[in-house]
Each structure stands twice: as structure tokens, then as C-alpha cells.
Amino acid sequence: MEIRSKEFKERAVFAIHDASLQQALGKARGGFVGKRAQQAAELPEFEQLREEAKNTKNHILDNLDHYLERYEAAVTAAGGHVHWARDAKEARKIILDICKRVDAKTVTKGKSMVSEEIGLNEALIEHGMEVVETDLGEYIIQLAHEPPSHIIAPAVHKTKDQVSDLFEAAHGGPRKTEVADLVNEARRVLRDKYFRADVGITGGNFLVAETGSSIIVTNEGNGDLTQTLAKVHIVTSGIERVVPTLDDATLFLRLLARSATGQETETYTTISTGPRRADDIDGPEEYHVVLVDNGRSKMLGGRFKDMLRCIRCGACMNHCPVYGAVGGHAYGWVYPGPMGSVLTPLIKGLDNAYDLPNACTLNGRCASVCPVKIPLPDLLRELRHMQHQQDITPAMQRRALKVWRYIATRPKLYHALEQVGARFLSAIAKDGSIRRLPLASGWTDVRDLPAPAGRTFLELWQGKRGQK
């Protein structure tokens, strides 16, 4: 997928004025937040689990090479194949080669953010394959030719009316307007695809080294139909998703659904181990796992290691007021919201996503709900620091910081300027505030500037108390 994060500002403004989008976002916001809070409140051990999850992920990352090797051996022992991809291009080639070898015509897909990250659909379609997204949300946006706007609710930006239009255009009339009818229509259309599919591609929420299994978690069952009815099942997953044992996976499962959709558990948790066995009567004949690095191993060495703990629950974006205001598409690549604002610059380049770490108030709500306690605001600030050091920050801002530092480290000068400022602003104010201030239009375009009283606190204090 082409990155368009440089257009963040324009896309954000566009999003704010998109009435349908705002309607859809408004509906989503309260639901996710309230349900998660309820789940967290109902599980007394929730905070303890977050701490354990953080520590366990750190342990895994510190020994990632070992667990990856153990995982590979276990997959192989179960009759599956592990493929390693350094980057998006290698990953696409591996999957394309498998699809071509089995002469795939139809490829069904469960929701996989890694497949979005590596731009898989475009590559398969380019080679003449029919690619069908089967998660309802993914299916909707595929019909709309749009990328997902949320990592667990990809069509969260669409209203029911828009879905009705898309389905009518794709499936023919009569136009359905009830959610139940829309879901039934998708069910009917996609059933046929599952049974026709040559290759089924899913993501992997967890890869279990103990058993060589991949685990997916879904509510719809689409991932299961995808991976069961196709001849070949391919799992795409980041290298950081490995966990040592089923018991470790359990720790994260206890947090995932609660943090993501605010459910105690999602409907289906599926542990897949190898292809169908000799006497099985269904299941895929081949089982492949594509382990994608794509910048992850580099992240492991530096200040952004914490980001590799991410289990892709989406709680950070559900709780982000900026995401809530602009939706996912403004972010311009695969991963939106706070986690995306960290990942996108790291994977696609700091200068390709300048705004993402900056368009954040550092309010910390994301970190307070992250099930693996990723200090997202600190990582975003760290990216700003790197941008500053690499002169990616706008020249104006760097000059302003220099001037500010010069003045603020000279208290007498600073106070003199504060006094001048307080008097000036007080003098131009009317009825307690200032409506227009040319050099601060970013402020006054949106709101009045409350007027100062005229003299500064330090002046007044010294006048009254006569202290040094």
C-alpha cells in the first residue's frame, strides 16, 4: 500500500468535515471505550495481567531468536513450512510463488494487517488471481477500494447507508437497508468463495513455539472457513508474534478481546497446527507460515523495542481523541492511531510521516489502556526527538526553539518580555479576550485568547511581598 502520511493535515481536515465519517466515528467511539472499561472492571486481575503481559513480552523479545527457531522446528515437525521474509517484497514473492505453484485462481483472506503492510492483495490481483476479503469489514472496504481505517474494525468509518450502496452496486438489488439483511447477503456471497478457494490466507495473532501453532481470534468465523476450506493455508505474521507456550498465549488472550472489542472473549479462538492429518476428512493440504521482519528486528535494538510488544488490539486508537476526530484514513498508511503513529515512521521513514508523531497531545490515554503497557506518548516524543536531530522538523520550529531557549535561560529577559506581552495582550483585549491575533492565528482561528490582567504574577508578587 502506497504511503500517504505526508498528506496527514489535508486528510485530517477533510475527515473532520466529512459528515458521514463523523457520524460513523461518533457511533464507534462510545461503544469500544465503555465496553472495555466494563470488562476491565469485571476482572479484578486485569491490572496484574497487564503487568505480566508486559514482562512476558519483554522476556520473549530478549530471546526472540531462540523462540523463533523453536517455533520453526515445531511447525516443520507438524508438517508445515516456515518461510522468512526480510521485507514486504520478499514476503509477497514467497506467497505469490506458493499461489502460482498450486495454480491458484481464487484466494480468500481472513483479516491480516501484515498482509496490508506488505501490499499483498495488489500483488495477487496483478497476477490474475481473484482475491476475496472475508472479514465483513474488510469485504466492505474491498468493495469500496479503500484501505482499512482501524486495525480491528476496518470499516468503522462506513455508515450503514454507505454499506447498502456498496452491496447494491456489487451484488445487484434490491437494496438492503437492515443490518441483518446486509450481513446475510455477505454471508451468501462469501460462502461460495470459501468453497471455491484454492488458497486461504490468514494472519496470526500468536505463534506458539511449544506446538508450532498459529492462533487466530475472530468473531465471525470467516478466518476458520478461509483456512479450512482452501487447499492451502498461508499464515502471514510478524516475527514478534511468537510466544513460547500455550500458557503464554493464554495470558495475552485474556487481555486481547477485553482490550479490543470489550468482549470477555471473542467467539472463535483457533489454534492451527500443521496441515490436515492423513486420516482427516477436511482441512488444508498444505500449511505455510510467512514470518515477516520488515523493520521489526531493527526496532528490537533501540528505543522502540517496547513497540514490539504490541498485540494489535486497537485499544490505543479507540481511546485516542485525535483518532476519534479524524478517523484512520488520515494517517495515510496501514496502521492508524497511536500505535500507527509510532510504527509508520519507523517502517516507512521518519520524513515520510512527519506529522504522525506530532499530531498528538501526549494526553496519555492510549498508554493507560494498552494491555502490554507500551509507553506510546514517550515513543512519539522520542520520534519527535529523532526528527529534531535529523533536521526533519520544520526550520521555523527549530529557529523558534532556539530563540525560546535563549530567552528562557535568561530569567530577567524572559520576565521583561512576559511583562511586555502581558501588557500588550491586555491592551488589545476586548471584554476579557482577544478575537484575532495575526501571529497566533492557529489559536485565534478556533477560539478566543483569554486576556491577561496586565501585570505578571512575579511583578505583582514582588510588589506585594517584596521578596528577592
Partner 1 sequence: MSAAMNARDAILGSVRNALRRGPLDDARRAELDARRPRHTRPAQDEDLVARFVRKFESRAGTTQRVASRADVPAAVEAYRTAMGLPARAVVGAALQDLSWPAGLEVHHGAAGISETMSVSQALAGIAEPGSLMMASGPASPITHNFVPDDHVVVLDAGAIVGHFEEAWEILRARPEGMPRATNIISGPSRTADVEQTIQLGAHGPRRVHVILVG
Partner 2 sequence: MTETPIRGPRVGLFATCLMNVFRPNVGFSAAKLLEDAGCTVEVPANQTCCGQPGYNSGDYEAARALARQVIETFENYDYIVGPSGSCMATIRHDYPVLFQDDPVWLPRAQALSVKSWELLSFLADVLGATTSDAHYDGTVTYHDSCSGLRGLGIKGQPRTLLGEVDGLKLKEMEDSEVCCGFGGTFCIKYPEISEKMVEDKVRNILATGADTVVGGDLGCLMNIAGRLKRINAPVKVFHTAEVLAGLADGPGLAGAAKESD
Instruction: State the Cα–Cα distance between residues 52 and 47, nearest whole angstrom.
Output: 9
Query: Applying CB under 8 A, which of residues 106, 270, 344, 456 lies at the interface with partner 1?
Result: 270
* 69 binds partner 1, rule: CB under 8 A: yes
Q: What one-character DSSP code corresponds to residue 430?
A: B
Asked if 191 is part of the footprint of partner 1 (rule: CB under 8 A), the reply reads: yes
Q: Is 424 in the site for partner 2 (CB under 8 A)?
A: no
Nearer to partner 2, 173 or 466 (CB): 466
Near partner 2 by CB under 8 A: residue from 78, 102, 246, 458: 458
Piece in contact with partner 2 (CB under 8 A), picked from 83-91, 94-102, 159-167, 410-418: 410-418
Round to whole Å and give the CA distance between 375 and 392: 23
Phi, psi of 172 (to 5 degrees): 85, 170
Q: Which part of the chain contacts partner 1 (CB under 8 A), choosing from 197-205, 260-268, 398-406, 418-426?
A: 260-268
Q: Are strands 206-208 and 213-218 parallel, antiparallel or unpaired?
A: antiparallel
Joined grid coordinates for residue 17: 468535515
Residue among 45, 279, 395, 468 that touches partner 2 (CB under 8 A): 468
User: Could you tell me the smallest distance in angstroms from the CB atom of residue 119 to partner 1?
Assistant: 18
Within residues 15-34, the interface with partner 1 by CB under 8 A covers 24, 27-28, 31
Measured CA distances, 46 to 53, 100, 142, 264, 316 (Å): 10, 46, 36, 12, 17
Residue 56 lies near partner 1 (rule: CB under 8 A): yes
d(CA 294, CA 240): 11
Does 463 bind partner 2 (CB under 8 A)? Our answer is: no
Q: Which of the listed partners (partner 2, partner 1, none) does 468 bind, with a CB threshold of 5 to 8 Å by partner kind? A: partner 2
Q: How far is the CB of 208 from partner 1 (least distance, A)?
A: 9
H/E segment holding residue 77: helix 64-77
Interface segment toward partner 1; rule CB under 8 A; list 65-73, 118-126, 415-423, 428-436: 65-73
Site for partner 2 in 4-23 (CB under 8 A): 9, 12-13, 16
From the number of C-beta atoms within 10 Å of its C-beta (0-12, 13-18, 19+), residue 205 rates as buried
Residue from 7, 65, 126, 391 touching partner 1 (CB under 8 A): that is 65
Residue 41 near partner 2 by CB under 8 A: no
* Burial class, 430, CB count within 10 angstroms (exposed 0-12 / middle 13-18 / buried 19+): exposed
Window 360 to 399, contacts with partner 2 (CB under 8 A): 360-365, 367-368, 381, 383-389, 393, 397-398
Where is 423: in which H helix or E strand?
helix 411-428
* Residues in 304-323 at the binding interface with partner 2, rule: CB under 8 A: 321-322
Residue in the block written with cell 469500496: 144
* Helices and strands (H, E) in the chain, number of each type: 23, 12
The β-bridge partners of 132 are: 108
Amino acid at 203: G
Cis upstream peptide for 345 (omega within 30°)? no
C-alpha cell of residue 133: 476479503
437 binds, among partner 1, partner 2, none (CB under 5 to 8 A by kind): none
Residues making contact with partner 2 (CB under 8 A): 9, 12-13, 16, 321-322, 325-326, 358-365, 367-368, 381, 383-389, 393, 397-398, 401-402, 404-405, 408-409, 411, 414-415, 418, 421-422, 425, 431-433, 435, 440, 442-443, 445-453, 455-458, 460-462, 465, 467-468
